[in-house]
Amino acid sequence: MKQILIKNAYVVSMNEKREIYNNGSILIENDLIKAIGKVDEKSILDTAEIIDAKGKIILPGLINTHVH
- CA–CA separation, 34 and 32 (whole Å): 6
Q: How confident is the model at residue 60 (pLDDT cuts 50, 70, 90)?
A: confident
pLDDT of residue 63: 77
Q: How much is the mean pLDDT over the chain?
A: 92
pTM, entire model: 0.84
Q: Where are the domains of the chain?
A: 3-58
| Pairwise pLDDT comparison (50 vs 68), residue with the higher score | 50
- What is the DSSP secondary-structure string of the chain? --EEEEEEEEEEP-STT--EEEEEEEEEETTEEEEEES--GGGS-TT-EEEE-TT-EE----------
Q: Which CATH architecture has domain 3-58?
A: Roll (2.30)
Averaged pLDDT, 9-29: 94
Q: Are 25 and 8 in contact (CB under 8 A)?
A: yes
